[in-house]
Chain A
Amino acid sequence: EVVLTQSPGTLSLSPGERATLSCRASQSVSSSCFTWYQHKPGQAPRLLIYNTSSRATDTPDRFSGSGSGTDFTLTISRLEPEDFAVYYCQQYSSSRWTFGQGTKVEIK
């Protein structure tokens, strides 16, 4: 099973700052099946980025994804108040999905 490790666990930033979230896989994964989700308390998770770098229909362009092999990154260029949430990476391989443990982006 592919294990995804996200870092940092918590990111404390101010609105307007840049956020860089990392996700490392225990073995090389397919970029086409690497995804990022945003999750706010009491809400359903929301698709942000799929295929490593493709934004979902309603994802603002301040969000961008990159990476390949075992190292992937989600970047939020300028944090807006609504961006403070938990972010999960996800991968699919060998007919199974796994999630990272999440990175919480909190207001500093």
Chain B
Amino acid sequence: QVQLVQSGAEVKKPGSSVKVSCKASGGTFSGFGVSWVRQAPGQGLEWMGGIIPIFGTKTYGHSFRGRVTITTDESSNTAHMELSSLTSVDTAVYYCARVAVEMAAILTYYFDSWGQGTLVTVSS
């Protein structure tokens, strides 16, 4: 079973950027996609963006377009998410998730493994 291990907590100033990493162990991102999801304090899960399996297409949520960049490094089995122009509303726990795909009569996508989460605090 793959395990996704994320980088540690970050404290950032407003206007700066943060980069969170997500390393797969006991498995790989090859043949899968990756997505990033965040949860602000007291709120639900919010999808930020990701890489679609098979096609390798990068796609981003409307709320984050232009501010988030998602990359993968297959040589190190690591995915990265960088979020720029931070404000206090970006204070949240950020999760990476591996996107699995099944190809039967129709494509089926789901997030089969999740990282432990990374707390990003934006404060002056």
Partners in one complex: yes
- Which of A14-22, A72-80, A89-97 binds B? A89-97
**Residue in chain B with minimal CB distance to A94:** B59
Which residues of chain B are near A33, meaning CB under 8 Å?
107-110
Contact of B52 among A56, A88, A95, A99 (CB under 8 A): A95
- B107 A32 Cβ-Cβ under 8 A: yes
Which residues of chain A are near B45, meaning CB under 8 Å?
37, 39, 45, 88, 90, 99, 102
- Interface status of B46 (Cβ within 8 A of chain A): yes
Interface residues in chain B, defined as those with a beta carbon under 8 Å from any beta carbon in chain A: 35, 37, 44-47, 50, 52, 57, 59, 61-62, 95, 97, 102, 106-117
Interface residues in chain A, defined as those with a beta carbon under 8 Å from any beta carbon in chain B: 1, 30, 32-33, 35, 37, 39, 44-47, 50-51, 56, 86, 88, 90, 92, 95-102
